Amino acid sequence: MSEFKFTDSYYDRHWSLVESLSLQEEERIRQTISLIPEDVSSILDVGCGDGRITNCLVPRCSRVTGLERSEEALRHVKTEKILGSIDSLPFQDRSFDLVFCCEVLEHLPFTAYAKALAEIEKVATKYIIVTVPNNEDIGQALVTCPHCGCVFHPWGHLRRFRLEDMANLFDEFSVQVTRLYQPRGKVYPSFMIKIGKLLKLVPAFPADALCPQM
């Protein structure tokens, strides 16, 4: 798989297609928000998307800011919002009690990843909350575009995280709480998914997948 640069227009297309949240996504968001300590009054949500977490935080804190690179996604954010990139945050050092980075790091290319971690750490005062897919089999998830033959991850994931990786993300912040979220319903092992694709029981190209070259 090539390391594609997912452009702003790609993310605008993605967020224009997003529909209502699934029950699993709503539960994941509730569990994520439950991690917020009591002594937090300002929050930055980097890569906030359409505000699905950001908007829920507004009643809890006096200052909530969402940062996102997609103008389409920001149309749905109902609090202070900034068009920007995670690897160049437009804030002073230690600007927020807590920084959220939820389902973002797995999308970052090599050129932006290290800088993004440094930027998050720079603007956080007390806490950082990060969520990523746990030990995802990136290779198993790859799909082939039926139009151009491009091979890519259907949701733009470029890297895998394991529990031991999370302990070393930041230099000045240490892990205090780790929580594994297990979605409801059956979770099939990768070999069963592969067989399902071969037998055409599982779609070879998900309906919501966006080719980065189209």
pLDDT in tens, 164-179: 999 999 999 999 988 8
pLDDT over 90, % of the chain = 57
Closest by Cα among 68, 130, 118 to 93: 118
> Top-level CATH class of 8-134+157-186?
alpha beta
Residue 193 in this model has a pLDDT that exceeds 60: no
Distance CA 205, CA 144 (A): 7
Residue 201 in this model has a pLDDT that exceeds 90: no
How far from the centroid of its chain's Cα atoms is residue 45's Cα?
11
Distance CA 144, CA 197 (A): 12
Q: 18-41 burial by CB neighbour count: b if 16+ within 10 A, else e?
A: eeeeeeeeeebbeebeeebeeebe
Distance CA 188, CA 32 (A): 24
Those residues with Cβ within 8 angstroms of residue 116's Cβ, 6 or more apart along the chain or in another chain:
86, 87, 105, 108
What is the residue-averaged pLDDT of the chain?
86
pLDDT at 203: 61
Residues 130-147 have a mean pLDDT of: 88
Which residue ranges make up each domain of the chain?
A: 8-134+157-186
pLDDT confidence bin for 5, thresholds 50/70/90: low
